[in-house]
Chains A and B, each alone.
Chain A
Amino acid sequence: MLKIRNLDVGYGGLNVLRRVSIHVNPGEIVTIIGANGAGKTTLLKTVAGLLRAQAGEIVFSGREIGRTPTEQIVFDGCSLVPEGRQVFPAMPVKENLLLGAYVQFKRGNRQTVSLDLDHVYGLFPVLKQREQQLAGTLSGGEQQMLAIGRSLMARPKLIMLDEPSMGLAPLMVREIFNIIVRIREEGNTVLLVEQNARSALKIANRGYVLETGRVILEGQAEDLLSNRDVQRAYLGRDL
C-alpha cells in the first residue's frame, strides 16, 4: 500500500527526518511512536504532499508520489486527518463532512455520497445528532470524530491519523481508538501517529519507533510493547 524508502526531510538547514524507511501493508494499522519533535508529523505531512523530501521515495499504491500535488494524492486515495482536527468551525457538521466528499464528486461518484454519509453517521451517531450544529461548538472528542468522518467521506485507501488522542479525556481516547479498530475491520488501512504509545501499540499490527528523526526500532506491536527501551521512553514505565 505505502512504501517509503530513505526519506530525508528538513526545514531550512535542519534535518528532521533521516533516511526513514517504512511500509504499510493493506488492512494493517501501523503506528509511528516517538517523543515530541521526533519527526512523526513531518513524516505524515511529507506523505500527504504538504512538505517535500530532499531525498528518498514514497510509493503509494505502486506509484511514486514524491512530487505529486496534495490534491492528487487525496484523489488517489491517501487522506490525512491532521493534528488538532482542523475542522471548519463556522460550518455545520454535515457540511464539514460533505467537504470531505469533494474528491468523490470529482471522481464522479456523486450517487454514493449519501450512503457514505449514513455510514459515517453509523460510526459516529453523535455527529448525526449534531448534524446542523456548527463544528466549532463540538467538544474536542466530537471534533476528532468529525475529522475522521470527514476523511472517510473521501473513501480513502489509506487513512493517516496525526495524534487523534491529543487533548482528549481518557474515556474519549478509548472511544477514538475503538473506532480506529472498527475502521480497520471495515477493510481500511491506517497509518497512526501517536504520543499515546501504549494505546496505539495495543491496537496496531506493527509499529516503528522514531527518535530524533531516525527509525530506531521496528516490529510487531506486541514486541514493541515488551521492549524495555520503548517501555521506559514511551510507556512511562519506571524500569
Chain B
Amino acid sequence: MYWQPESECMDREELQQLQLERLESTLSRVNMNVPFYRRKFDEIGFNPDDLRTLDDLRKLPFTTKNDLRENYPYGLFAVPLREVVRVHASSGTTGMSTVVGYSRNDIKTWSNLVARILTAGGITKDDVIQIAFNYGLFTGAFGLHYGAERLGASVIPISSGNTRRQIKIMQDFKTTALVSTPSYAMLIADTMMEMGINRNSLSLKFGLFGAEPWSDAMRKELENKLKIVATDNYGLSEVMGPGVAGECFERNGLHIAEDHFLVELINPDTLQPAKPGDVGEMVITTLTKEAFPVIRYRTRDLTRLLPEPCPCGRTMGRMTRIFGRTDDMLIIRGVNVFPQQIETVLFEIEGVAPHYQIIIDRKGALDETTVLVEVSEQIFFDEMKRQSKLKETIKKRLASELGIAVEVKLVEKKTLERFEGKAIRVIDNRKF
C-alpha cells in the first residue's frame, strides 16, 4: 500500500530531474528572499545560477543549528510572516530552541509525507490512532496528527503523559495504532503489565515510533509486549518534522522522501562526502519548503544509506535507522560510544529490564563509566551469587561491544526515571 504511488515509486531518472528542478528553484528563492543565504553565497563567490548538477550542491556551505539560533526567531524565513500559517520550535533536545515556519502548502506537503509513512507502517483510514506525543511547539504530535487526518484515520490527540489514562482510552476507544517515542511505548507496556491488563483486551495492531534513536532489540521487546508491528520513522523540525523518512513493512531501512529532501552523508570530522556504504552525518536540503527552506542542514544524525532497491516497490532510497547523534556520541577514554550500542547489548541479556542509564565521571585523568541497569525483582532479591554473575555477564558483553571497560550497577525495578517524551539516557558529569 502506498499513499502517493506516483511519487513513492517513481522512476529514479525522473526523480533526478525533479530533484534538480526543485533544487534550482529553491536556490533561486532563498537567494532572493533570505539575506542569510545570499550573504553566504556571496562570501564564497557562488552564483546560484551556476548550479548545474545535484553534485554542485557540495560547493555550498553547511547550515548549522547555530545559524538557526543566531537568526532566532524569524531570520531564516523565506516568506513574510503573513504567509506563515504555523510556527513550531525544535524540542530543544540540545540547548536553545530554534523556530521554523510553514506556509499553507508546506502543511499540505507535510501532511502527505506523514500519510506516506503511516501507510507504509500499515495504517489505513480504518485505524484509530492514538497520538501520545506531546502536543505543542514540538513537531511530532501535530505532524502525525495532520498526516493521520489526511489519511482519514480516526485521531485521538491524547498527548503524552498520564499513562494509566492512556491505557484506559486505548481499551475503551479501541485504539489500533499507537504513535509515541519508543521509550514512552515501553513505559505504557510496563504500566499495562503492572495494572494486570491482558494485552488481548486491546485492539492495538501497529506502533509508529520516532523522535529518538532506538535499537532493533527494543523493537522486538515492544512488539512482543504490545503484540504490534512497530515501525521507525524519522524527521526533525529544522527540516520539517516527522515524515522525512519512514520504514515500510520490510523494516529494513527507512525510505527517504527524496522528492522533497536531498540527502547527503558526510564524514563529520573531515566534512567531506562519506564513502559509499560508510556511516556518516546526514545533511539535508529541502526541495519544496516554501516558508522555511534549509540548504545543507547538518542534522547531527548518523546513518548509512542503503543503495539496494527495496522489495516493497518504493524507489525512494533508504537509510538505516539512526545510529545516534554526533551530539550523543560519547567519547569515553578516546573511544566513540553510542548509547544505542549499550541498549542493544542490554536487551540481549535475560533478566534485564529495558531501562538503563549511563553515568560518566572523571576520576583524575580517566573517564569512569557506570551503567545503571534495572533488573527483575526476582534477580534483585536473589542470592548475591546470581546477582554478581549477571553483573559480570553484562560487563563482559559491554566490554566486547564497546571496546572499553565499564562499571555495571544493578538497580531495583522502577528506580530509574521514566520519560513520557524523549528519554535521557546519559548523565555526563565530566567537566571539560
- Would you give the 0/1 interface string for A131-167, flagging 1 where the beta carbon is closer than 8 Å to chain B? 0000000000000000000000000000000000000
Interface bits A186-211 vs B (CB < 8 Å: 1, else 0): 00000000000000000000001001
Q: Which of B60-102 contact A (CB under 8 A)?
A: 79, 82-83
Complex alpha-carbon distance, A137 and B28, angstroms: 46
In the complex, what's the smallest C-beta–C-beta distance from B278 to chain A, in angstroms?
30
Interface status of B103 (Cβ within 8 A of chain A): yes
Taking a contact as CB atoms under 8 Å apart, the answer to whether A223 and B21 are in contact is: no
Q: Please name all residues of chain A whose beta carbon is closer than 8 Å to the beta carbon of B24 when the two chains form the complex.
A: 6, 19, 21, 214-215
Q: A5-B17, A217-B29 are in contact. Are A18 and B79 (CB under 8 A)?
A: no
Q: A216-B25, A217-B25, A229-B79 are in contact. Are A223 and B17 (CB under 8 A)?
A: no
Given A226-B104, A227-B105, A215 and B51 contact (CB-CB distance below 8 Å): no
In the complex, the answer to whether A215 meets B290 with C-beta atoms within 8 Å is no
Tell me the minimal C-beta distance from A81 to chain B in angstroms: 24
* CB-based nearest B residue for A215: B25
Interface centre among B14, B49, B104, B108 (most CB of A within 10 A): B49
Give the chain B neighbours of A21 by CB distance below 8 A. 17, 20-21, 24
Range class of the A interface residue count: 20 to 34
Chain B CB within 8 A of A130 CB: no
Bound complex: CA A5 to CA B50 (Å): 13
Distance of B315 from chain A, by nearest CB (Å): 16
| CB neighbours of A211 from chain B (8 A) | 28
B21 near A228: Cβ-Cβ < 8 Å: no
Q: Does B22 contact A (CB under 8 A)?
A: yes
* A218 with B108: CB separation less than 8 A: no
Instruction: Report how far A218 CA is from B103 CA in the complex, Å.
Output: 15
Contact of A19 among B51, B82, B108 (CB under 8 A): B51
Which B residues from 1 to 50 make CB contacts under 8 A with A?
A: 14, 17-18, 20-22, 24-25, 28-29, 32, 49-50
Q: How far is B20's CA from A21's CA once the two chains are assembled, in angstroms?
A: 7
Cβ proximity bits A15-38 to B, threshold 8 Å, 1 near / 0 not: 000110111010000000000000
Interface check A52, CB cutoff 8 A: no
Contact across chains for B21 and A18 when beta carbons are under 8 A apart: no
For window 277-292 of chain B, which residues contact chain A by CB distance below 8 Å? 288, 290
* Chain A min CB distance to B98 (Å): 24
A214→B21 contact, CB < 8 A = no
Closest to A214 in B: B28
For B14, the chain A residues whose CB sits under 8 A away are: 23, 25
Q: How far is the CB of B220 from chain A (nearest CB, A)?
A: 41
Q: Determine the chain B residues whose CB is within 8 A of the CB of A6 once the complex forms.
A: 20, 24, 52
Near B by CB (< 8 A), chain A positions 85-141 give: none
Distance (whole angstroms) from the CB of B16 to the closest CB of chain A? 10
Q: For residue A15, which residue of chain B has the nearest CB?
A: B49
- A3 touches which one: B17, B51, B82, B83 (CB < 8 A)? B17
Among B14, B20, B25, B82, the most chain A Cβ lie within 10 Å of the Cβ of: B25
Which of B28, B82, B83, B105 is within 8 Å of A215, CB to CB?
B28
A69 an interface residue at 8 Å Cβ cutoff?
no
Contact indicator per residue, chain B 105-122, by CB within 8 Å of chain A (1) or not (0): 100100000000000000
Kindly state the separation between the CA atoms of A190 and B288 in the bound complex, as whole angstroms.
Answer: 24
A5–B105 contact, CB under 8 A? no
Contact A228 B28 (CB under 8 A): no
30 pairs from A and B in contact (CB 8 Å cutoff): A3-B17, A5-B17, A5-B20, A19-B24, A19-B49, A19-B52, A21-B17, A21-B20, A21-B21, A22-B21, A23-B17, A23-B18, A25-B14, A208-B21, A208-B25, A214-B24, A215-B24, A215-B25, A217-B25, A218-B21, A218-B22, A218-B25, A219-B105, A223-B108, A226-B105, A227-B105, A227-B290, A228-B83, A228-B103, A229-B79
Given A226-B104, A228-B79, 19 other A-B contacts at CB below 8 A? Answer: A3-B17, A18-B49, A19-B24, A19-B50, A19-B52, A21-B17, A211-B28, A214-B28, A214-B49, A215-B24, A215-B28, A216-B29, A216-B32, A217-B25, A218-B22, A218-B25, A219-B105, A228-B83, A229-B83
